[in-house]
Chains A and B, each alone.
Chain A
Amino acid sequence: MITNHPTTELLTEYATGAMSLAPLISITTHLQFCEHCRDAVAGLNALGGEFLGECEGTAISDRLLADTLDRLDEEPLPETIEAAPASFAIDAALEEQLPAYLHKFVGRSPLNWRSLSSSLSVAPISVGETAYELALHKIDAGGTTPSHDHRGMELTVVLKGSFSDEHGVYHEGDFLIREPGHVHRPAAAQNQACICLSVLEAPIKLQGLKRVLNPFMQFNPS
């Protein structure tokens, strides 16, 4: 039973395209587990469809359709397109613990697990983004992590197993938002290791007003 979800604000920013890569990946990962939030996002997308369908059309150049049709001939036939395979093999034991959606990201570079404490290890996942650290965290069965604070916002999705802290118990699919100043001390369940996907604001000094206002935003559209 999933009891922790992204907020409505996060789901809206997801559906409207205001998020950068790593937070996006964490929301899509939660959606792999959560039917309720999938339905919520479907509704938000339908609202986008309505805005598109009802917006005021603007005349387009006469030749745009012809140009586009020409370009279609250069496109491979739709059926022949296949998803790009992962560049690196993922450890089979780990692979079956991760939602299939994550395989393409985890398989992009060799996973490099490093130990943070006796029972906690971390493996960064590179998505070519510097403002956020995307990583897998693993707490060994029965293990407790050191008490820690968060320098920036941290988003966590439980992928396998469960863990608990002072505030509750979190199961597969749960989505947690941890804020700066939020100190906690997670511990995995006794019987099973816990694997989480986490997105952490990179410990770099944010520059520029936009970034300060909105660390999820990677670009300035205006």
Chain B
Amino acid sequence: MAIKQISKGTMKEQTGPDWNALLVRVGSHQDKSAFGALFAHFAPLLKGFLLKGGGVEPEQAEELVQETMIKVWRKAPTYAPAQAAASTWMYTIARNTRIDWLRKHSKRNQQTDELVAEDLFDENEASSPFVALIQNRNAGHIKTHLKELPQEQLQVLTLMYFQGKSGQEVAHELNIPLGTVKSRVRLALQKLKLKLSPTGDDRKVVYVQ
């Protein structure tokens, strides 16, 4: 049954190189030509992603791209295609690289310590036994429904993903109540058929004033 459902997933519909397989190849054989192919595809995407977030000059964006790709090389042996598509796995590494870079360069920074974001997340934690099924389903739903999201919901997600803004900061930037930001995120995730927290967001999280 599992096999049948996987074959129905939309992951394989995309044409072009199989990025997941290339990433596995980098991890298992330290294959530099596979790495080069991944680099040629993902480095411009990573740079575009970082520049869209703002706060990073093009020169710095390339530094971050390089740092991200070196981590990709180093961590590739831990990559499990059943758990995440190559682009998802790269996203988490790029996000962590950005977190560390912003911490290092922040004037407000009060970190005194060498902990890095990679230590804090635990991406390799296996999810449910049906993780491959869930992954395929998520990817299919996201591809299908992302284009259908109302502009106002997409705008909130864009600010959060590309700029790393919190819900409260998005509310401030768009001059809308925090509750509206939360409900747009919830509505968008529902439309994308992604899992929400079982705990409703009705509970008001009060930030210190």
Residue ID in chain A nearest B95 by CB atoms? A17
Digitize B26-54: 1 where CB-to-A-CB distance is under 8 Å, 0 elsewhere.
01001010011001101111111101111
User: A216–B117 Cα gap in the complex (Å)?
Assistant: 15
Write out the residue numbers on chain B whose beta carbons fall within 8 Å of the beta carbon of A211: 108
Would B84 and A49 count as touching, CB distance under 8 A?
Answer: yes
Give chain B's interface secondary structure class: helix
- 19 A-B pairs within 8 Å (CB atoms) are namely A9-B167, A18-B165, A40-B194, A43-B189, A46-B88, A46-B142, A49-B89, A51-B157, A52-B42, A52-B49, A58-B47, A72-B35, A72-B73, A79-B77, A101-B122, A129-B113, A152-B208, A217-B169, A222-B55
Counted as pairs of residues, one from A and one from B, with CB atoms less than 8 Å apart, the total is: 290
Choose one: B48, B54, B160; the contact of A18 (CB below 8 Å).
Answer: B160
Chain B nearest CB from A35 CB (Å) reads 5
A42-B127, A58-B51, A60-B65 given as contacts; is B157 within 8 A of A37 (CB)? no
How many chain-A residues does the 8 Å CB contact rule pick out?
90
User: A7–B123 Cα gap in the complex (Å)?
Assistant: 19
Question: Is A36 positioned at the interface, with any CB of B under 8 Å from its CB?
Answer: yes
Would A47 and B108 count as touching, CB distance under 8 A?
Answer: no
Residue of B44, B85, B160 with most chain A CB atoms under a 10 A cut-off: B160
Would A57 and B39 count as touching, CB distance under 8 A?
Answer: no
Would A206 and B102 count as touching, CB distance under 8 A?
Answer: no
Choose one: B49, B54, B90, B168; the contact of A213 (CB below 8 Å).
Answer: B168
Would B66 and A212 count as touching, CB distance under 8 A?
Answer: no
A42-B134, A42-B135, A64-B65 given as contacts; is B70 within 8 A of A221 (CB)? no
Question: Is B125 positioned at the interface, with any CB of A under 8 Å from its CB?
Answer: yes
Would A179 and B205 count as touching, CB distance under 8 A?
Answer: yes
Residue of B42, B77, B127, B209 with most chain A CB atoms under a 10 A cut-off: B127
Size bin of chain B's contact surface: 35 or more
Interface-facing stretch out of A25-33, A110-118, A137-145, A185-193: A25-33
Write out the residue numbers on chain B whose beta carbons fall within 8 Å of the beta carbon of A56: 48, 52
Would B110 and A131 count as touching, CB distance under 8 A?
Answer: yes
Chain A nearest CB from B195 CB (Å) reads 4
A42-B83, A206-B208 given as contacts; is B108 within 8 A of A220 (CB)? yes
Residue of B62, B181, B196 with most chain A CB atoms under a 10 A cut-off: B196
User: A78–B32 Cα gap in the complex (Å)?
Assistant: 13
Question: Is A164 positioned at the interface, with any CB of B under 8 Å from its CB?
Answer: no
Would A48 and B88 count as touching, CB distance under 8 A?
Answer: yes
Would B74 and A71 count as touching, CB distance under 8 A?
Answer: no
Partner-A contacts on B (CB < 8 A): 27, 30, 32, 35-36, 39-40, 42-49, 51-55, 58, 61-62, 65-66, 69-70, 73-77, 83-85, 87-92, 94-96, 98-99, 102-103, 105-115, 117, 119-123, 125, 127-128, 131, 134-135, 138-139, 142-143, 146, 157-158, 160-169, 172, 181-182, 185-186, 189, 192, 194-201, 203-209
Chain A nearest CB from B16 CB (Å) reads 11
Chain B nearest CB from A105 CB (Å) reads 8
